[in-house]
Chain A
Amino acid sequence: MAGLLSGDGLVTILFATAGCLWGILGGALPGISPSIAMALLLPFTYGMEPIPAIVLLASVYVGAEYGGSIPAILIRTPGTNASAATTLDGYEMARQGKGGEALGISLVSGLVGGLFGLVVLVLATEPLARLALAFTPAAYFALAVLGLSVIASLSGKSLMKGLVAAALGLMIATVGTDPVSGVPRFTFESAELLGGIRPILVMVGLFAVAEMLVQIGEPPWAKAEAGDTRLELPGLAMMRRLLPAQAIGCGIGTFEGVTPGAGGTIAAFMAYNEARRWSRNKDAFGKGAPEGVAAPEAANNVVTATALVPLLSLGIPGSNSAAILLGGFMVHGLTPGPLLFERAPEVVWGLYGGLLAANIAMLLLGLVILTPALWLVNRPKPYLLAAILCLIVSGVFAIEQSLFDVALVLGFGVLGYLLRLAEVPVLPLVLGVVLGFMLESNYRRSLVISGGDHAVFVEDPIALTLLALAAALTAYSLWSEFRRKA
């Protein structure tokens, strides 16, 4: 924390707060992902000193991962990819008039996750970087399989419908440039589809637009009591109840953050799933369980810190957001990598200090922002729905100034509406879209390397362990599912 104690400490805190605020706002807007919120600020950092510039960008990441959960809870619209898992119980809580409590839990869990991640980053960067290096394509494939193993518990009533949804998601992930041969697949000669369909567009369509369509067809909701619209921080008893869920989130977030390419979305889904599995009252999940908010929120905020491990120590960005941060380092003539800690230790420590400041700022800003956010969702329904739809369309358009993206989102909205009518769960679909490319590209890459020999997946110790874990978890889910029904 040397950076904070120096003369520039105040400036660092200021930029951490500003970045965090921008991140919360960006994260809360559907369509503006954390990496886009960072990219929007990047040009302004060119003229700044290196430490404030990098702290500013990293704080946006911290703020955005938290901000995404605000609309996820209040209007069932994940502002970021990673907050999709929070919609499950967060929105249920909001519907029961416990929106303020859900927001408080997500804020505190986010803080717990952020601080835990920071401690891990400061203390364990070196050994964790070695773990990241040990991941071969076969291990990444196994990691994706492990991610898919949570489908069973995300499927709700019908496992068959969940599997159909997941298959649909995996199919959507095949659109774009083939990861091995480079042949354009299902692009219909359109340059717009060469890069594939980005998960954020699928999610905004399936959750936000579909929810709008459902709401439009229903009578106005009952107005929440004035008392419900106040933010409520969890008390001591609640904190004790949430601790196991948060701990699960922290553990999974650390692992997923450190391995490049996995990221916050998978961490959040897996944390939700594991929190449910190890909970004493499983049946409360999906019906507004506080633990169902705490686990994914802790996980995706741990990732904001641990995703920096491969970036700082190896110079390898594990996510889009980390890639933008890498750009921020490069602009200032700094190259993250093995030598960064020797050549520019003041920048590294400044960054750590800035992250601490950003996490504390998140708590304070969250307290200030949540009350007006709660007030906002209590406005008359027609105005609110129209405003949200405008926000979604303009947010999506702003990403790449592409009307094609807007059309995609609206199309996925209609798909989401139809799936709701058919009672097909959308979360497995989202998981398929998020994991599909990672699953396929690493599977095929492994086979190119092994010359077509599938033994590569059991010869790699990490891959074998993860695959065994996935098999065990799936078997356990199925067994407990059947036992519950019988």
Chain B
Amino acid sequence: MLTRRATLAVVPAGLAAPALFAARADAQARYPVQTVTLVTHSSPGGGSDVFLRELIRHLQPVMGVNFAVENVRGGSGATAVARVARSRPDGGMFYATTPTYIQTTLLSRPEFGYDSLDPLSVVFLDPEVVYTRKESPFNTLGEAMAAARANPGRQKWGAANPASLERIALERLNRLTGARAAVVPHEGGGDLMINVLNGTLDLGIGEVQEIRAQLDAGRVKLLGVLTEDRLSDFPDLGTAREQGIDLVVTKFRGLAGPKGMPDEIAAQWASALATVLDSPAYKAVYTKESLVPTPRLLPRPAARAFTTEVAADIGTSLRELGVAR
């Protein structure tokens, strides 16, 4: 109980931007509940937690309701999913989705899996980058892969966690290039960074945010980004596809609710999120974190189709790794 109460951060309605609030009240029907609880499996200060707290700061004046962030840890996300799946579908509670909730479902058999929630919106993609230390002879992903092809079985690549999208990506890279590189999983980004910096590994893969400190200090350099398009804050960084490697990693952040929620509520969210993504203040925040907005995936039907597709993809990959049945 202690944890739950202490980690509630309520943003009172009507504190900021009254003008925006008035405009919304005219344009849309009133939201059915007073307080919306957003549940995350991440601990305070963790990835999804920071994402939610930043989001509600900008979403609150647009939707005109109170928001609370609730950190429900445990069970690698399954506890949080169960909490939201059991809640009433009245728009009062949502879960902050990341690929983790799909992986946990596939790796264990929780009572409530990712498919017991209904995806509401997909808001951002988290771009994955391939990087190495500044002393490395490689300057692009293409160069690194050429060296790996030329010396099969000699390269060492690092990913943050054993059952992660990043590790799947490196295994695919192995298959695409025939490099037979050793793929070394770690216990989080810190471990991985040490082994990239001290030269134990030839390259690492991760989110831009995780390596920002070393990047700014010039101790690591980016080799390529695993997205469809180049990033707006790193316009000179080529995508893997441009460098002749057909690899795209889809790591997403979004919201999902309990099943049976009316379409009107979903539509209200889609329009409110679209407004927020366009606002310059929020844009400044998410651009700084290298998040790629996905306005196309805000409407519920698109988010559902996207989630189904990604889940199938993750399922295939985990089975290929021999991790899930």
Contact = CB atoms under 8 A, between A and B. Distances in A.
Interface in B147-194: 153, 156, 161-164, 167, 182-187, 190-191, 193-194
B107 interface: yes
A163 to B, nearest CB: 27
Given A183-B322, A183-B323, A39 B162 contact: no
B217 A181 contact: no
Contact of A315 (B74, B153, B213): B213
A378 interface: no
Interface in A306-363: 310, 314-318, 323-324, 326-328, 330-331, 335-340
Contact of B2 (A182, A193, A327, A398): A398
A154 B195 CA distance: 33
Interface string A436-465: 010001000100110100000000000000
Contacts of B187: 179, 261, 437, 441
Interface stretch (B28-36, B40-48, B118-126): B40-48
Contacts of B1: 398, 401
Please classify how large the interface on chain B is, using the bins under 10, 10 to 19, 20 to 34, 35 or more.
Answer: 35 or more
Given A43-B69, A182-B167, 4 more contacts: A178-B162, A315-B213, A337-B214, A449-B201
Contacts of A192: 74-75, 78
Interface of B: 1-4, 6-9, 43-46, 49-50, 53, 69, 72-79, 104, 107-110, 153, 156, 161-164, 167, 182-187, 190-191, 193-195, 197-198, 200-201, 212-214, 216-217, 219, 321-323
Nearest to A176: B76
Contact of A42 (B44, B73, B195, B323): B44
Contacts of B193: 314-316
A445 B193 CA distance: 14
Contact of B219 (A193, A330, A338): A338
A314 B104 CA distance: 31
Contacts of B217: 337-339
Interface of A: 36, 39-43, 46, 132-137, 177-184, 187, 189-195, 260-261, 310, 314-318, 323-324, 326-328, 330-331, 335-340, 398-402, 404-405, 437, 441, 445, 448-449, 451
18 contacts: A40-B6, A43-B9, A136-B198, A136-B200, A195-B75, A315-B213, A324-B44, A327-B49, A335-B212, A340-B213, A399-B3, A399-B73, A400-B74, A402-B74, A404-B75, A449-B200, A451-B153, A451-B182
A43 to B, nearest CB: 5
